[in-house]
Amino acid sequence: MPTTWRLGDLTVNRIGFGAMRLTGSAAFGKGVPADRERSIGVLRRAIELGVDHVDTAAFYFSPHLSANELIREALAPYPDDLVITTKVWPGRDASGAWWWAAPEQLRGQVEDNLRELGRDHLDVVNLRVPPSRRNGPIGEHVTALAALREAGLIRHLGISNVTVRQLDEARAIAPVVCVQNPFGIGAPAAERELLRTCGELGIAYVPFFAIAGAGREAGAAAAEPPEVLAVARAHGATPAQVRLAWTLHQGPHVLAIPGTGDPGHLAENVAAGNLRLTGEEVARLTALGTS
Protein backbone atom coordinates (compact mmCIF):
# COMPACT_ATOMS: atom_id res chain seq x y z
CA MET A 1 0.00 0.00 0.00
CA PRO A 2 1.60 3.31 -1.02
CA THR A 3 2.41 5.74 1.77
CA THR A 4 2.09 8.94 -0.27
CA TRP A 5 -0.31 10.53 -2.73
CA ARG A 6 -0.52 13.87 -4.46
CA LEU A 7 -2.49 17.07 -4.20
CA GLY A 8 -1.93 18.42 -7.68
CA ASP A 9 1.86 18.73 -7.99
CA LEU A 10 2.34 18.40 -4.22
CA THR A 11 3.17 14.99 -2.73
CA VAL A 12 2.07 14.28 0.84
CA ASN A 13 2.11 11.38 3.27
CA ARG A 14 -1.30 9.72 3.43
CA ILE A 15 -1.66 10.35 7.16
CA GLY A 16 -2.00 14.07 7.73
CA PHE A 17 -3.31 16.19 10.59
CA GLY A 18 -6.61 18.02 11.05
CA ALA A 19 -6.41 21.20 13.12
CA MET A 20 -10.03 21.45 14.26
CA ARG A 21 -9.39 20.04 17.74
CA LEU A 22 -6.33 22.19 18.44
CA THR A 23 -8.49 24.86 20.03
CA GLY A 24 -10.25 22.33 22.26
CA SER A 25 -13.83 21.20 22.42
CA ALA A 26 -14.71 24.91 22.55
CA ALA A 27 -13.75 25.30 18.88
CA PHE A 28 -17.32 26.12 17.94
CA GLY A 29 -18.26 28.05 21.04
CA LYS A 30 -19.01 25.24 23.49
CA GLY A 31 -16.97 22.98 25.73
CA VAL A 32 -13.47 23.28 27.16
CA PRO A 33 -10.72 25.37 25.55
CA ALA A 34 -7.37 23.78 24.82
CA ASP A 35 -4.03 24.60 26.41
CA ARG A 36 -2.01 26.80 24.04
CA GLU A 37 1.42 25.30 24.75
CA ARG A 38 0.10 21.78 24.50
CA SER A 39 -1.48 22.49 21.11
CA ILE A 40 1.75 24.03 19.84
CA GLY A 41 3.63 20.98 21.09
CA VAL A 42 1.23 18.64 19.27
CA LEU A 43 1.80 20.50 15.99
CA ARG A 44 5.57 20.39 16.31
CA ARG A 45 5.47 16.72 17.27
CA ALA A 46 3.30 15.97 14.22
CA ILE A 47 6.01 17.35 11.96
CA GLU A 48 8.64 15.31 13.80
CA LEU A 49 6.54 12.18 13.17
CA GLY A 50 6.50 12.84 9.43
CA VAL A 51 3.21 14.69 8.96
CA ASP A 52 3.50 17.02 5.97
CA HIS A 53 -0.19 17.79 5.33
CA VAL A 54 -2.08 19.98 7.81
CA ASP A 55 -5.74 20.82 7.27
CA THR A 56 -7.17 23.94 8.87
CA ALA A 57 -9.69 26.78 8.50
CA ALA A 58 -10.07 30.36 9.67
CA PHE A 59 -13.32 29.35 11.38
CA TYR A 60 -11.50 26.91 13.66
CA PHE A 61 -11.30 29.12 16.71
CA SER A 62 -12.42 29.26 20.31
CA PRO A 63 -12.72 32.38 22.49
CA HIS A 64 -8.97 32.38 23.14
CA LEU A 65 -7.32 30.27 20.41
CA SER A 66 -7.18 30.24 16.61
CA ALA A 67 -6.01 27.11 14.81
CA ASN A 68 -4.39 29.13 12.02
CA GLU A 69 -2.46 31.29 14.45
CA LEU A 70 -1.38 28.24 16.45
CA ILE A 71 -0.06 26.68 13.23
CA ARG A 72 1.87 29.85 12.42
CA GLU A 73 3.37 30.11 15.91
CA ALA A 74 4.31 26.44 16.03
CA LEU A 75 5.61 25.86 12.53
CA ALA A 76 6.72 29.11 10.88
CA PRO A 77 9.09 29.41 9.13
CA TYR A 78 7.35 26.51 7.45
CA PRO A 79 9.22 23.41 6.23
CA ASP A 80 9.56 23.40 2.44
CA ASP A 81 7.59 20.15 2.14
CA LEU A 82 4.70 21.17 4.41
CA VAL A 83 1.33 21.43 2.64
CA ILE A 84 -1.35 23.46 4.42
CA THR A 85 -4.91 23.11 3.20
CA THR A 86 -7.76 25.31 4.31
CA LYS A 87 -11.41 25.86 3.47
CA VAL A 88 -13.74 28.74 2.70
CA TRP A 89 -17.42 29.58 2.19
CA PRO A 90 -18.40 29.08 5.87
CA GLY A 91 -17.32 31.81 8.23
CA ARG A 92 -17.89 32.82 11.85
CA ASP A 93 -18.08 36.33 13.25
CA ALA A 94 -16.41 37.45 16.47
CA SER A 95 -19.33 36.12 18.51
CA GLY A 96 -18.96 32.70 16.91
CA ALA A 97 -22.13 32.95 14.82
CA TRP A 98 -21.96 31.26 11.41
CA TRP A 99 -22.32 33.03 8.09
CA TRP A 100 -21.89 31.90 4.49
CA ALA A 101 -19.86 33.89 1.97
CA ALA A 102 -21.20 35.14 -1.33
CA PRO A 103 -18.83 34.53 -4.27
CA GLU A 104 -17.46 38.08 -4.04
CA GLN A 105 -16.67 37.55 -0.33
CA LEU A 106 -14.41 34.54 -0.88
CA ARG A 107 -11.39 36.73 -1.53
CA GLY A 108 -11.75 38.21 1.95
CA GLN A 109 -11.88 34.73 3.46
CA VAL A 110 -8.78 33.68 1.51
CA GLU A 111 -6.96 36.82 2.67
CA ASP A 112 -7.96 36.07 6.29
CA ASN A 113 -6.28 32.66 6.00
CA LEU A 114 -3.20 34.18 4.36
CA ARG A 115 -2.84 36.75 7.12
CA GLU A 116 -3.41 34.33 10.01
CA LEU A 117 -1.04 31.71 8.58
CA GLY A 118 1.58 34.24 7.47
CA ARG A 119 1.64 32.95 3.89
CA ASP A 120 1.78 34.73 0.52
CA HIS A 121 -0.31 31.97 -1.07
CA LEU A 122 -2.40 29.00 0.08
CA ASP A 123 -1.38 25.51 -1.06
CA VAL A 124 -4.92 24.12 -1.33
CA VAL A 125 -8.25 25.83 -0.69
CA ASN A 126 -11.33 23.64 -0.36
CA LEU A 127 -14.69 25.16 -1.19
CA ARG A 128 -16.78 23.83 1.70
CA VAL A 129 -20.36 23.54 0.46
CA PRO A 130 -23.02 24.37 3.09
CA PRO A 131 -25.57 21.68 3.97
CA SER A 132 -28.35 23.78 2.42
CA ARG A 133 -26.55 23.62 -0.94
CA ARG A 134 -25.67 19.92 -0.77
CA ASN A 135 -27.42 19.24 -4.08
CA GLY A 136 -27.41 22.74 -5.53
CA PRO A 137 -25.16 24.58 -7.99
CA ILE A 138 -21.72 25.72 -6.83
CA GLY A 139 -20.39 27.15 -10.08
CA GLU A 140 -20.36 30.81 -9.05
CA HIS A 141 -18.27 30.07 -5.98
CA VAL A 142 -15.89 27.78 -7.89
CA THR A 143 -15.45 30.48 -10.55
CA ALA A 144 -14.56 33.03 -7.86
CA LEU A 145 -11.93 30.72 -6.37
CA ALA A 146 -10.57 29.91 -9.83
CA ALA A 147 -9.99 33.64 -10.35
CA LEU A 148 -8.02 33.79 -7.09
CA ARG A 149 -6.00 30.83 -8.32
CA GLU A 150 -5.20 32.70 -11.51
CA ALA A 151 -4.20 35.70 -9.38
CA GLY A 152 -1.66 33.54 -7.50
CA LEU A 153 -3.33 33.59 -4.10
CA ILE A 154 -4.21 29.88 -4.33
CA ARG A 155 -2.09 27.08 -5.76
CA HIS A 156 -4.74 24.36 -6.01
CA LEU A 157 -8.50 24.06 -5.58
CA GLY A 158 -10.46 21.37 -3.77
CA ILE A 159 -14.12 20.95 -2.90
CA SER A 160 -15.74 19.68 0.27
CA ASN A 161 -19.09 18.23 1.36
CA VAL A 162 -20.09 17.62 -2.26
CA THR A 163 -21.82 15.14 -4.57
CA VAL A 164 -20.59 13.52 -7.79
CA ARG A 165 -22.67 16.04 -9.74
CA GLN A 166 -21.02 18.97 -7.97
CA LEU A 167 -17.59 17.46 -8.62
CA ASP A 168 -18.42 17.36 -12.34
CA GLU A 169 -19.63 20.97 -12.19
CA ALA A 170 -16.44 22.15 -10.49
CA ARG A 171 -14.12 20.25 -12.83
CA ALA A 172 -15.79 21.90 -15.82
CA ILE A 173 -14.62 25.26 -14.41
CA ALA A 174 -11.17 24.55 -12.94
CA PRO A 175 -8.88 21.65 -11.99
CA VAL A 176 -9.84 19.97 -8.71
CA VAL A 177 -7.08 18.22 -6.75
CA CYS A 178 -9.10 16.83 -3.83
CA VAL A 179 -12.54 16.10 -2.47
CA GLN A 180 -12.96 16.40 1.29
CA ASN A 181 -16.13 14.71 2.55
CA PRO A 182 -17.32 12.94 5.70
CA PHE A 183 -16.50 9.25 5.32
CA GLY A 184 -15.80 6.24 7.48
CA ILE A 185 -16.97 2.75 8.32
CA GLY A 186 -20.67 2.55 7.48
CA ALA A 187 -20.53 5.31 4.85
CA PRO A 188 -23.56 5.38 2.50
CA ALA A 189 -23.41 4.02 -1.04
CA ALA A 190 -23.38 7.48 -2.64
CA GLU A 191 -20.25 8.40 -0.71
CA ARG A 192 -18.52 5.16 -1.65
CA GLU A 193 -19.35 5.91 -5.29
CA LEU A 194 -17.77 9.36 -4.99
CA LEU A 195 -14.65 7.84 -3.47
CA ARG A 196 -14.37 5.43 -6.42
CA THR A 197 -14.95 8.25 -8.90
CA CYS A 198 -12.12 10.26 -7.38
CA GLY A 199 -9.82 7.27 -7.71
CA GLU A 200 -10.68 6.87 -11.38
CA LEU A 201 -9.93 10.56 -11.94
CA GLY A 202 -6.69 10.54 -9.92
CA ILE A 203 -8.16 13.03 -7.45
CA ALA A 204 -7.29 12.73 -3.77
CA TYR A 205 -10.21 11.78 -1.55
CA VAL A 206 -9.75 13.23 1.94
CA PRO A 207 -12.27 11.94 4.50
CA PHE A 208 -13.05 13.82 7.65
CA PHE A 209 -14.72 12.21 10.69
CA ALA A 210 -13.04 8.92 9.72
CA ILE A 211 -12.62 8.16 13.43
CA ALA A 212 -15.59 10.05 14.86
CA GLY A 213 -18.14 8.69 12.40
CA ALA A 214 -21.65 9.76 13.39
CA GLY A 215 -20.17 11.53 16.41
CA ARG A 216 -18.79 14.20 14.06
CA GLU A 217 -17.40 17.23 15.92
CA ALA A 218 -18.16 15.62 19.30
CA GLY A 219 -15.72 12.79 18.61
CA ALA A 220 -15.99 9.03 18.50
CA ALA A 221 -18.78 7.27 20.34
CA ALA A 222 -17.86 5.33 23.46
CA ALA A 223 -19.37 2.07 22.20
CA GLU A 224 -17.64 0.46 19.23
CA PRO A 225 -19.18 -2.32 17.12
CA PRO A 226 -17.85 -5.75 18.12
CA GLU A 227 -16.37 -6.19 14.63
CA VAL A 228 -14.15 -3.14 15.11
CA LEU A 229 -13.11 -4.31 18.57
CA ALA A 230 -12.26 -7.79 17.27
CA VAL A 231 -9.98 -6.43 14.55
CA ALA A 232 -8.36 -4.10 17.06
CA ARG A 233 -7.62 -6.99 19.41
CA ALA A 234 -6.19 -9.09 16.58
CA HIS A 235 -3.66 -6.38 15.76
CA GLY A 236 -2.99 -5.02 19.24
CA ALA A 237 -4.38 -1.71 18.03
CA THR A 238 -6.97 0.80 19.16
CA PRO A 239 -10.39 1.08 17.48
CA ALA A 240 -9.39 4.53 16.19
CA GLN A 241 -6.32 3.02 14.52
CA VAL A 242 -8.48 0.32 12.92
CA ARG A 243 -10.87 2.95 11.57
CA LEU A 244 -7.99 4.94 10.09
CA ALA A 245 -6.36 1.84 8.59
CA TRP A 246 -9.67 0.77 7.04
CA THR A 247 -10.04 4.25 5.55
CA LEU A 248 -6.60 4.08 3.93
CA HIS A 249 -7.38 0.61 2.57
CA GLN A 250 -10.20 2.12 0.46
CA GLY A 251 -7.73 3.18 -2.23
CA PRO A 252 -4.24 4.60 -2.76
CA HIS A 253 -5.76 8.04 -3.44
CA VAL A 254 -7.37 8.20 0.01
CA LEU A 255 -5.71 10.49 2.55
CA ALA A 256 -6.56 10.85 6.24
CA ILE A 257 -6.52 13.99 8.38
CA PRO A 258 -7.30 12.83 11.94
CA GLY A 259 -7.30 15.64 14.43
CA THR A 260 -6.34 15.64 18.08
CA GLY A 261 -4.99 17.87 20.80
CA ASP A 262 -3.52 14.88 22.65
CA PRO A 263 0.14 13.92 22.01
CA GLY A 264 -0.56 10.24 22.71
CA HIS A 265 -3.46 10.10 20.28
CA LEU A 266 -1.31 11.89 17.69
CA ALA A 267 1.34 9.15 17.84
CA GLU A 268 -1.35 6.45 17.58
CA ASN A 269 -2.95 8.14 14.57
CA VAL A 270 0.34 8.40 12.70
CA ALA A 271 1.18 4.78 13.53
CA ALA A 272 -2.14 3.69 11.99
CA GLY A 273 -0.57 4.32 8.60
CA ASN A 274 1.50 1.17 9.13
CA LEU A 275 -1.43 -1.05 10.18
CA ARG A 276 -2.16 -3.66 7.51
CA LEU A 277 -5.58 -5.28 7.59
CA THR A 278 -6.38 -8.54 5.84
CA GLY A 279 -8.80 -8.60 2.94
CA GLU A 280 -11.29 -10.45 5.11
CA GLU A 281 -11.02 -7.82 7.84
CA VAL A 282 -11.53 -4.99 5.37
CA ALA A 283 -14.60 -6.73 3.94
CA ARG A 284 -16.05 -7.39 7.40
CA LEU A 285 -15.67 -3.75 8.39
CA THR A 286 -16.96 -2.51 5.04
CA ALA A 287 -20.15 -4.52 5.56
CA LEU A 288 -20.97 -2.58 8.74
CA GLY A 289 -23.93 -0.27 8.20
CA THR A 290 -24.16 -0.96 4.48
CA SER A 291 -26.85 -3.63 4.43
Which residues have a catalytic role annotated?
60
**204-205: strand order across its sheet:** 17-18, 53-55, 83-88, 122-128, 154-160, 178-180, 204-205
CA distance 27 to 22: 8
CA distance 214 to 243: 13
Helix axes 67-75, 106-117, angle to 10 degrees: 40
Helix axes 139-150, 164-171, angle to 10 degrees: 40
Contacts of 185 (CB under 8 A, 6+ apart): 213, 225, 228, 243, 246, 285, 286, 288, 289
Dihedral angle of Cα 216, 220, 222, 226, to the nearest 10 degrees: 110
DSSP class of 24: B
The one-letter code for the residue type at 196 is R
Provide the 10 A C-beta neighbour count for residue 33: 15
Taking alpha carbons only, the member of 224, 261, 260 closest to residue 243 is 224
List residues bridging with 172 in a β-sheet. none
Q: How far is CA 233 from the centre of its chain?
A: 27
